[in-house]
Structure 1
Amino acid sequence: MRLFAFGINHNTATVDIRERFSFTETQLPVALQDLKQQTGIREAVLLSTCNRTEVYCGIQEDGSQVIDWFSQYRNTSRDLLNTSLYVHSARSAVRHLLRVASGLDSMVLGEPQILGQLKNAYRIAQKSGTLGMLLGRLFQHSFAVAKQVRTDTAISSSPISVAFAAVRLAQQVFGDLSNRTALLIGAGETIELAARHLHENQLGRMVVANRTLERARHLAMAMGGYAITLPEISEHLAEADVIISSTGSDIPVLLASQIQEAVKKRKHRPMFIVDIAVPRDVEAAAGDLENVYLYTVDDLNDVIQENLRNRQQAAVQAEEIIDTQVTHFISWLDSLGAVDTICAIREQALQQRQEVSDRALRLLKNGGDPEDVIQQLAYQLTNTFLHAPSTQLREAASNGDEEFIDVARQLFNLPEIPPQCTRSETVTKPS
Structure 2
Amino acid sequence: MTLLILGTNHRTASLDLREAVAFSPEQLEQAHAELVALEGVDEAVIVSTCNRTELYLSGEGLDAGFGARAFAWLAGFHRVAQASLQECFYQHVGDRAARHLMRVACGLDSMVLGEPQILGQIKGGYQLARRYATLGGPLEQLFQYAFSTAKQVRTETGIGENPVSVAYAAVNLAGRIFDDLSHSRALLIGAGETIDLVARHLREAGIQGLIIANRTQARAERLAAEVGGVAVGLEEVPQALSCADIVITSTASPLPVLGKGAVESALKVRRHRPIFMVDIAVPRDIEPEVGELDDVFLYTVDDLNEIIDENRRSREVAATQAESMIDERVDEWHRDRRERGAGQLIRRHRRQAEALRQAAEAHALAQLERGENPQDVIRRLSHQLTNKLLHGPTARLRAASGAERQDIIAAAEALLLDEAASDAFDAAEIDALKLGAHCPIGAHSQQVP
User: What TM-score comes out, normalization by structure 1 length?
Assistant: 0.86
| Counterpart for residue 71 of structure 1 | 72
- Structure 2: how far apart are the matches of 1:259 and 1:336? 68
1:399 and 1:11 mapped to 2: Cα distance? 53
Q: 2-side partners of 1:421 and 1:143: how far apart?
A: 52
Instruction: Measure how far apart 1:182 and its partner are.
Output: 1.9
Kindly indicate whether the alpha-carbon contact (under 8 Å) linking 1:68 and 1:78 is maintained by their aligned counterparts in 2. no
Whole-Å Cα distance in 2 between the matches of residues 4 and 404 of structure 1? 31
State whether residues 20 and 74 of structure 1, in contact with CA within 8 Å, keep that contact through their aligned partners in structure 2. Answer: no
Aligned to 2:318: 314
Amino acid at match of 1:340: Q
Using the alignment, how far apart are the partners of 1:63 and 1:56 within structure 2?
16
Query: In the superposition, relative to structure 1, how do residues 413 and 325 fare at CA in structure 2: closer, same or farther (>3 Å)?
Result: same
Q: Which amino acid aligns with 2:63?
A: D
Partner of 2:50: 50
* Runs of 5+ unmatched residues, structure 2: 431-449
Match of 1:385 among 372, 386, 389: 389
114, 120, 125: which one pairs with 2:124? 120
2:358 to 354, 361, 365: 354
In structure 2, what is the Cα distance between the partners aligned to 1:8 and 1:225?
35
Deviation per residue, 1:62-112 (Å, 9 max, x gap):
242332342254245555544233222111111111112222122222222
Counterpart mapping for 1:290-301 below 5 A? 290-301=294-305
Kindly tell me: are residues 14 and 235 of structure 1, through their superposed partners in 2, closer, same or farther at Cα, counting changes over 3 Å?
A: closer
Aligned partner of 2:262 in structure 1 is 258
Which letter maps to 2:281? A
Query: Which deviates more, 352-361 or 192-201?
Result: 352-361
Q: Is residue 155 of structure 2 the alignment partner of residue 151 of structure 1? A: yes
Q: Which residue in the other structure is 1:24 paired with?
A: 24
Counterpart of 2:190 in structure 1: which amino acid? G
Change (3 A) 1:83 1:159: same
1:170 maps to which of 174, 179, 182: 174
**What is the distance in 2 between the residues matched to 1:93 and 1:263?**
57
SS of residue paired to 1:41? coil
Distance 2:122 2:291 in 1: 44
Shift of the alpha carbon at 1:168? 0.8
Q: CA RMSD in A?
A: 3.1
Instruction: Name the residue aligned to 2:7.
Output: 7
Distance 1:249 1:264 in 2: 27
| Alignment pair present for 1:138 and 2:139 | no
Q: Deviations over 1:200-250 (max 9, x none)?
A: 112233333344555444433433334444444444434322111223445
Secondary structure in structure 1 of the residue aligned to 2:55: strand
Distance 1:12 1:391 in 2: 56
Whole-Å separation in 1 of the counterparts to 2:213 and 2:81: 49
Among 174, 196, 206, the residue aligned to 1:202: 206
1:231-310 matched pairs, under 5 angstroms:
231-310=235-314
Secondary structure at 1:74's aligned position in 2?
helix
SS at match of 1:3: strand
CA shift at 1:373, angstroms? 5.3
Which whole-Å deviations, capped at 9, do the CAs of 1:290-332 have from their partners, x for residues lacking one?
2311012232223222322222222211211111111111111
Structure 1's 81 and 226: CA in aligned 2 closer, same or farther, altered over 3 A? closer
| Cα distance in 1 for residues equivalent to 2:421 and 2:211 | 84
Aligned length: 423
SS of the equivalent of 1:239 reads coil
What is the CA distance between 1:152 and its match in structure 2? 2.1
User: Is the deviation greater in 27-36 or in 341-350?
Assistant: 27-36
Aligned partner of 1:91 in structure 2 is: 95
Structure 1 residues 94 and 16: CA distance shift in structure 2, 3 A: same
